[in-house]
Amino acid sequence: MILVVEDEEALAGVVRSYLHRAGHRTAEARTGPAAVLAARDLGPDVIVLDLGLPGLDGLEVIRRIRAFSDCYVLITTARAQEPDRLAGLAEGADDYLVKPFSVRELVARVDAVLRRPRAIDGTAPPVAPTFAVGGLEIDEAAQQVRLEGRELALTPTERGLLLTLARRPAQVFTRRQLLESVWGDTWLGDDHLVDVHIANLRRKLDESAAAPRFVTTVRGVGYRMGKG
């Protein structure tokens, strides 16, 4: 189910009707507080979240939702709100669309997200039941990641990035390859998105870009698993 959070009634109506036509069930919220409640009560698979909302700032909405949910969050913002968009990703949003956006593209992104687990399972070699390196354990079957025995609260995007890197520890991945693996090959956005999510992941892994233990930046190319 897709939760559409949008205070512009006309836009919400168009988004809803396109999603219905593509076969999705939807629910709606018009304000920040209503969005948090709906996310908690309905457990949506995807939240399409306008950042400019009455009642509660969109960034605060993401922060509150991330306290109890790892569902996919796609933010929508006006072009002038670049800092908000980046802040939204840093708070745990997975992806963004700039207004005015193509509703068709929005539906394509939602479809790509919902196909994700299958795409990951179908094309990548299976990781050992538990992948472990230097205190980090990835239990793919249970969808759990533990650091020194403590379970980490990763978003699906962060988990997808980590799994992609962990499955082929010898390989250096370009940002584009990571985007295709985690976001799907229909994704049209910019490579910078990968850097923001890797930064979030590193924060949760308690490591810095300067002295990484798990995810290493390969200058001019991308990322690989392992110590720097």
- Tokens found for residue 226: 């392992």
Q: How many residues can be counted in the chain?
A: 228
User: Please, which residues bridge with residue 95 across strands?
Assistant: 74
Single out the residue of 76, 112, 78, 80 nearest to residue 97, CA to CA.
76
Does residue 7 bind Ca ion (CB under 5 A)? yes
Does residue 135 bind Ca ion (CB under 5 A)? no
Does residue 55 bind Ca ion (CB under 5 A)? no
Helices (H) then strands (E): counts for the chain: 8, 12
Nearer to Ca ion, 7 or 111 (CB): 7
Q: How far is the CB of 14 from Ca ion (least distance, A)?
A: 14
Q: How far is the CB of 34 from Ca ion (least distance, A)?
A: 13
Residue 204's CB is within 10 A of a number of other CB atoms, namely 15
* Span interacting with Ca ion, options 6-14, 33-41, 188-196, 207-215, rule CB under 5 A: 6-14
Does residue 28 bind Ca ion (CB under 5 A)? no
Does residue 50 bind Ca ion (CB under 5 A)? yes
Does residue 52 bind Ca ion (CB under 5 A)? yes
Nearer to Ca ion, 78 or 147 (CB): 78
Q: How far is the CB of 143 from Ca ion (least distance, A)?
A: 33
* Span interacting with Ca ion, options 34-42, 45-53, 131-139, 197-205, rule CB under 5 A: 45-53
Single out the residue of 127, 134, 129 nearest to residue 160, CA to CA.
127
Residue number of the CB atom closest to Ca ion: 52
What are the residues whose beta carbons fall under 8 Å from the beta carbon of 131, sequence distance 6 or more?
A: 137, 138, 140, 166, 167
In angstroms, the CA 169 to CA 204 distance is 20
Residues lying near Ca ion in the complex (CB under 5 A) are found at 7, 50, 52
